[in-house]
Amino acid sequence: RLKESPGISGTSGDSNVTMFKVYGLKKFQENIYLSGAITYDLYSTSFDNAITASTLSQRQFILNFGVNYFF
């Protein structure tokens, strides 16, 4: 949660950031591992005295896959 003061319009808005990350590592062979991750981010803001918009949000969803080789 983020609260700014003073805001551009004279009053501040409320901002929220929500983040989740899940990851895993699985042994495939003797020195080779498979890895994966899922990341979800949500940034949202509500404005008190907005002229053009009362809320703003941005979502981000990322999938990562990889192969790790250990010596």
For the stretch 15-56, pLDDT in tens is: 888 999 999 999 999 999 999 999 999 998 887 665 666 788
**DSSP 8-state symbol, 69:** E
Helices (H) and strands (E) in the chain, counts: 0, 4
8 has a pLDDT exceeding 90: no
> From CA 41, how far away is CA 50, in angstroms rounded?
24
On whether the CB atoms of residues 45 and 53 are closer than 8 A, the answer is: no
